[in-house]
Structure 1
Amino acid sequence: PHPSVDLGGSFYQWDNTPSPFAMACADLASQGVVVSNLEEAVKTHPDLVRPILEEFWAGEDFRKLELANRAFWQGGSFLYVPPGVKASVPLEFVFSQQNCDFSFPRNVMVVGSGSEMVMLEDHRSQALRPQNSVAFSRLILQAGAKAHFFYTQGLGLETTHFWHQKCTLHKDAQLVHTSVMLGGSVHKTNLEVDLVGPGARSDLFGIVLGKGHQHFDMRTFQNHRGQHTHSDLLFKSALKDNARSIYTGFILVEKEALETQAYQANHNLLLSDSARADSTPVLEILTDSVQCKHGATVGPLNSEELFYLETRGLSEEESQKMLITGFLDPILSKLPLPSVREGLTSKIEESL
């Protein structure tokens, strides 16, 4: 999905193949970085993998889907980054669904203490017939680890896609997480970030572009369990035709999580009279000495801004495109890799 990006390793699974391609570059492999399929990792790293697979990752709303994933699990990736590895190039994980009706990948990623890593996870399909995908992903950042995680979904417009990811951040771990959702007929995301260690920090960003009769349902959970933890979330959607977006965001500050800072914002652009966006931010605080806020907006493009651009010689379509790009820029500008930022911007412009 990012042809101009120099990669430190790749994982590529097409349909439900039992032998996906997996490889870390020589430099990272020499430092102990492991990129493999999950079934192989169960045998080669049982002490690390088995306890994670035995967890239930999802809440009640996703429990049936997780049981289905467990029952029909085929393929999936495993990443292990030993302590102290600082990678200058990203790792890419691609799941391509073309000829199979159902896909149930499960992924496990562990970044060791003090390590730094960039991960790109892409779900794609060009199929023009109904398909179903139920994917589960587990990301663990050990003490002092830093990670940038990018999730892109460009599945066919007849695909129903469920994606659940649970992220656990230990002491002083830092996560920057960006989701870009463009495809599918029905897309449902459940993103859970568990800040268990003191000083852990997460910055969560999301972009949704909907058209036709696409339906996006996104749920996020910022769970503060450690002291002096920080989370900041910004999700934005732009919807046209009859597209619909539902966002439910939950911030929980537990009793022990003193000196927490937690923020959440969801903003939605409606580009047609029949597009619809619903937003429900929820905040529950069980302790004192915290800073928390949340908010949501839903509305059309600013007519005065459109008029101004059109008086400067831009067409209505060009003006709308410029305003939408500007609306999304606060997220795109935070992406650390210029090549990734350019690739995502290109995808967004194509969708617009």
Structure 2
Amino acid sequence: MKTIAKERVDEITKQTSEPAWLKDSRLKAFESYLKIPTPCNRDENWRRTEVDALDLSTLNVVVNDSKEKKAAKEPAVITAALANLGKNLPYIYTTPQSVEIGNADSELLSKGVIFCSLKTALAQHADLLSKYLAPENLPCPDFAQNDKFYLMNQSLFNSGAFLYVPKNVVLESPVLNVLSSGEETSIAIFPRVIIIVEQGAKAEFVNLCTADKHKTTGESQALSLVNSSIETYVGANASLSYLDVSDFSANTFAVSRVYNEVKKDGSLHASTIALGGWQIKSDIQTNLKEPGAKSDIRGVVLGAGNERYSFNTIQDHIAPDTSSTINFRVALKDSSSSAYLGTIRVSKEGQRTDSYQSNKNLLLGSNAHADSIPKLEILADDVKCAHGATVGPADKEQIFYLMSRGLSSLEAEELIVTGFFRQVVQSCPVDGAGDWINSLVADKIHS
């Protein structure tokens, strides 16, 4: 994998009005990025990802220096999402050329809620963000120290969203952030989403990353890179539910890093939906930092063609009396593949941890392949930890029965897949999300 020149970092710092501490943070991240070797498929966490196919030196790093503006016309992708989630939800819509906002809610502003592009947040709320982005305050998930793509994002992030919910404020409905790379190819986009939910507050957040569909495949080398980061901070007695949906074209190499931090008696519910892209590589780490913290992470993956998916989840129980659940469902058509690596980690202080992990894989194509690797790293002696994993083909008799009742092969496949995903999809607490996810799944099956 050829690298990105330092001049790209300089371009971003020159074209955006950022505080000095952020420029320093970018440069330090880039210095670390240069020192760390490129991951390869000999690494357990990267063994199903073809990194060598990505030539970073040929990609145009997008520097979107546009200011937020009110959307003149609601984009079609926004309309489709709001049809299920709620027509009047506040949204941010980012493309390589523009940043548009819609349905601004004055009531949220009066309560001190901040929902804006990350660029606007850095210009207007730098002091607040410095508590999380300044070099001395950066979180330290596993991938912060030795992950080349994470450090790439930290040095080059150029779009994204910021949600801040003050103490004891409750959001009655979700907010929506959409990033679209449009029809462009051979570009590199580095979105970053930061969500802060203070003590006793409650919020829902929906994140959608998408691209117009191309007929090319990753092997054609007409690749684009989407390297994203999501960071969530859930305060004491606070609650956050977020839905993260990715639906890319066949020429997209997508890497995402998610870091969740939950404090005393806080709760996190996160749903990840992956529906397209040439290669999707995602790490999700949840740190349960204080007693009573709990998390529920759900995943839905639908692969087709030659798509490759790789998910690595870490449930990190740092404090006593914490609980976590992970439930990932993967359905693979054609010659698509998936690798899931799930780790439950319990520190010495993590007594009375209650943690469960499940990964089920449904093979719809004769050449589809799935790996599932659960891991336990337990240093405490009073814990309740369990994991389960299955890999198996679709029931041919079930498909035959459905077709004998008049369904086409694709209709039968849709029914089986939505049934396989049902438990995970229905558990998403965001109103209307279940119907929206099912419609996206159906669109992919019939495409």
Q: Structure 1 stretch 150-159 or stretch 40-49: which is displaced more?
A: 40-49
Q: CA distance change for structure 1 residues 52 and 85 in 2, over 3 Å: closer, same or farther? A: same
Structure-2 residue corresponding to 1:89: 173
Corresponding position: 1:193 with 2:290:
no
1:62 & 1:299 partners in 2: Cα distance? 34
Which of 201, 211, 217 is residue 310 of structure 2 equivalent to?
217
Structure-1 residue corresponding to 2:6: none
1:332 & 1:75 partners in 2: Cα distance? 28
The amino acid of 1:10's aligned partner reads Y
Between structure 1 and structure 2, the one with the greater Rg is 2
TM-score normalised to structure 1 length: 0.94
Q: Structure 1 stretch 302-311 or stretch 187-196: which is displaced more?
A: 302-311
Structure-1 residue corresponding to 2:275: 182
Which of 97, 118, 127 is residue 47 of structure 1 equivalent to?
127
Q: Structure 1 stretch 55-64 or stretch 101-110: which is displaced more?
A: 55-64
Q: CA distance change for structure 1 residues 56 and 225 in 2, over 3 Å: closer, same or farther? A: closer
Which of 186, 193, 205 is residue 107 of structure 1 equivalent to?
193
Mapped contact 2:89–2:175 kept (Cα < 8 A): yes
Structure-2 residue corresponding to 1:165: 258
Number of matched pairs:
351
Mapped contact 2:204–2:430 kept (Cα < 8 A): no
Corresponding position: 1:69 with 2:153:
yes
Structure-1 residue corresponding to 2:29: none
Q: Structure 1 stretch 55-64 or stretch 174-183: which is displaced more?
A: 55-64
Which of 278, 281, 286 is residue 371 of structure 2 equivalent to?
278
Structure-2 residue corresponding to 1:37: 117
Mapped contact 2:241–2:430 kept (Cα < 8 A): no
* Secondary structure of 2:282's aligned partner: strand
Which of 239, 254, 257 is residue 332 of structure 2 equivalent to?
239
Which of 288, 293, 303 is residue 386 of structure 2 equivalent to?
293
Show the 5 A alignment for 1:322-337. Answer: 322-337=415-430
Q: Structure 1 stretch 91-100 or stretch 246-255: which is displaced more?
A: 91-100
Mapped contact 2:343–2:374 kept (Cα < 8 A): yes
Structure-2 residue corresponding to 1:10: 91
> 1:293 Cα shift?
0.3
2:275 & 2:299 partners in 1: Cα distance? 11
2:286 & 2:230 partners in 1: Cα distance? 12
Corresponding position: 1:148 with 2:247:
no
The amino acid of 2:91's aligned partner reads S
The amino acid of 2:188's aligned partner reads F
Q: Structure 1 stretch 123-132 or stretch 58-67: which is displaced more?
A: 58-67
Structure-2 residue corresponding to 1:253: 346
1:315-334 residue CA offsets vs partner (Å, 9 max, x unmatched): 44433322221111011111
1:26-52 residue CA offsets vs partner (Å, 9 max, x unmatched): 111110000122233234333331232
* Secondary structure of 2:351's aligned partner: coil
Larger helix proportion, structure 1 or 2?
Answer: 2
Structure 1: gaps (5+ residues): none
1:216-268 residue CA offsets vs partner (Å, 9 max, x unmatched): 01011100112211101100111011101010011101111111100001000
Q: CA distance change for structure 1 residues 44 and 313 in 2, over 3 Å: closer, same or farther? A: closer
> 1:105 Cα shift?
1.3
| % same residue | 31
Q: Structure 1 stretch 93-102 or stretch 160-169: which is displaced more?
A: 93-102
The amino acid of 2:257's aligned partner reads H
The amino acid of 1:118's aligned partner reads E
Show the 5 A alignment for 1:309-348. Answer: 309-348=402-441
Q: CA distance change for structure 1 residues 79 and 338 in 2, over 3 Å: closer, same or farther? A: closer
Q: Structure 1 stretch 299-308 or stretch 19-28: which is displaced more?
A: 19-28
Q: Structure 1 stretch 160-169 or stretch 313-322: which is displaced more?
A: 313-322
The amino acid of 2:335's aligned partner reads N
Larger strand proportion, structure 1 or 2?
Answer: 1
Mapped contact 2:203–2:241 kept (Cα < 8 A): yes
Mapped contact 2:153–2:228 kept (Cα < 8 A): yes
Corresponding position: 1:135 with 2:228:
yes
Structure 2: gaps (5+ residues): 1-77, 215-221
Which of 196, 205, 219 is residue 298 of structure 2 equivalent to?
205
1:71 & 1:127 partners in 2: Cα distance? 28
1:183 & 1:33 partners in 2: Cα distance? 33
1:348 & 1:252 partners in 2: Cα distance? 32
* Secondary structure of 1:35's aligned partner: strand
> 1:8 Cα shift?
4.2
Q: Structure 1 stretch 309-318 or stretch 268-277: which is displaced more?
A: 309-318
Mapped contact 2:341–2:372 kept (Cα < 8 A): yes
* Secondary structure of 1:343's aligned partner: helix
* Secondary structure of 1:3's aligned partner: helix
Mapped contact 1:23–1:35 kept (Cα < 8 A): no
Q: Structure 1 stretch 51-60 or stretch 286-295: which is displaced more?
A: 51-60
Corresponding position: 1:117 with 2:117:
no
Mapped contact 1:22–1:36 kept (Cα < 8 A): no
